Amino acid sequence: MATSRGVLDFRTGRGAATLSAPFVGALLEAGAGKAPAAFEVVYTPTAVYLRIPKSDARRPWTKIALERQTDRSVLPENPAGGLEFLSGESRRVDEIGRDVVRGAATTRYRVELEAASVAARSSDAVRRAVEEDGRRAFPVDVWIDRAGLIRRLRWDQRFRAGDTSARIVVTTEYFAFGAAVAIDVPPPDQVAD
């Protein structure tokens, strides 16, 4: 299981996170059972920057321009992208129950979204993910607090990487609304394309 912790600035579309993923540790160390590798990610509306352990010390960041990336399955998910799923029309909405998310009382809903509607109203990245998933509709669970703020979002995504198909479950929690956020894009002299 991969985990991450980071920040989002919804005004600029930028985000930054540290991800820990056992499968990356195994790949980097060429063996299973190694400690999870922690790597840094910076998101912008047009690119993803990765700093992976054991990368070139002179240019530790790798830039992946989103408009040139066709295989989205290899990129870390931008946590802001999940909210775009909710722009689609729903087939149905069911109240699942009550829950507490990071100290906030919430109501959990399951929303069945129309894939075509989500794709038509979302960014290119989310549109491609929806098309690659292949379902006509898919469920999204959303936890909303009393102020109407989304506190948790969970969905599953299906994709293909070469001849392999996979399913991932993404859960994102949103908190510390309104906090000051500083996200620096890596300087060009530290970035390899």
21-30 confidence digits (pLDDT tens): 665 544 455 4
- pTM (global) more than 0.85: no
Q: 152 with 172: CB under 8 angstroms?
A: yes
Residues 6 or more apart whose Cβ sits within 8 Å of residue 30: none
8-12, 103-107, 148-152: which range is least confident on average?
8-12
Q: Which one-letter amino acid corresponds to residue 33?
A: G
66-86 confidence digits (pLDDT tens): 776 554 444 455 666 667 777
Q: Which one-letter amino acid corresponds to residue 161?
A: A
27-71 confidence digits (pLDDT tens): 455 444 455 567 888 988 888 898 877 777 888 998 988 776 554
What span, in angstroms and rounded, lies between the C-alpha atoms of 88 and 108?
A: 18
Which domains, ranges and CATH numbers included, belong to the chain?
Answer: 3-192 (2.50.20)
